[in-house]
Structure 1
Amino acid sequence: MSDISSATMAAPTGPQMPKPRADAAATAREFEAVFIGQMTKLMMEMVETGDEFSGGHGEEMFRGVLAEQMGNEIAKRGGVGLAPAVLDQIIKMQGGRR
């Protein structure tokens, strides 16, 4: 009886599914942050500011920055549930499985 090496005992391998890129989850969170920032910006534009509380030209300039930062913070604290759906689509587009 001949010795069988462990190399010949290896299980056959089928086609390997590509693994999702490591930064796919971060990309999904960033997408959600941008989306929330844009929604926040639109909501802020709908609010009428009176003359008593108007920040003038400075407020107008930095309103977009404020909306962007609010979007980042909301997404960082759990967001609105968009990131998991986006991550699933990224993985599907890469041909992988979660």
Structure 2
Amino acid sequence: MTLSIQNPTHLPGVTTQNGRDLALRRAAEQLESAFLSEMLGAAGLGKSREAFGGGAGEEHFASFLRTAQADHMVQAGGIGLAERLFQALKGDKHVS
């Protein structure tokens, strides 16, 4: 899986510090999403059923379902991992 992070500092009204924080937050959210997607996979989400499953393509597209669900989980607040990562990447000394 390849994650791309775009540089948002070229946007109008975005200062260098705000752009850096935005990029760090996006990176933290993408990492939380990737983590949640893997955990959903380990929990068996998207695993094809033994009988009367969705066909040969079901296994191949199950990762798309997990990724989309993980993205929605993060946008809804996630498990707090993205916020902790963001604070750590930002250099906040009060992250425990």
- What interval of TM-score do these two structures reach, taking the shorter chain for normalisation? 0.5 to 0.7
Distance 1:59 1:70, change over 3 A: same
Question: Which structure 1 segments of 5+ residues have no match?
Answer: 1-18
Which has the larger Rg? Answer: 1
| Local SS of the residue matching 1:44 | coil
For 2:26, the equivalent position in structure 1 comes to 26
1:3-22 alignment, distance < 5 Å: 19=17, 21-22=20-21
Distance of 2:73 and 2:60 partners within structure 1: 22
Q: Distance in 2 between matches of 1:30 and 1:46?
A: 20
- Is this contact kept in 1: 2:37–2:69, CA < 8 A? yes
CA distances 1:19-47 after superposition (whole Å, capped 9, x unpaired): 57131111111111111111111112696
TM norm structure 1 = 0.65
CA distance in 1, matches of 2:45, 2:84: 28
CA distance in 2, matches of 1:58, 1:47: 12
User: CA RMSD, aligned part only?
Assistant: 2.5
CA drift at 1:59: 0.7
Asked if residue 63 in structure 1 is aligned to residue 73 in structure 2, the reply is: no
Structure 2: give runs of 5+ residues left out of the alignment: 1-16
Output the CA distance in 1 between the equivalents of 2:27 and 2:59: 29
Identity of aligned residues (%): 22
**Per-residue deviation at 1:50?**
2.9
More divergent stretch after superposition (43-52 vs 57-66):
43-52
- Give the TM-score normalised by the residue count of structure 2: 0.66
Higher relative contact order at CA 8 Å, sep ≥6: structure 1 or structure 2?
Answer: 1
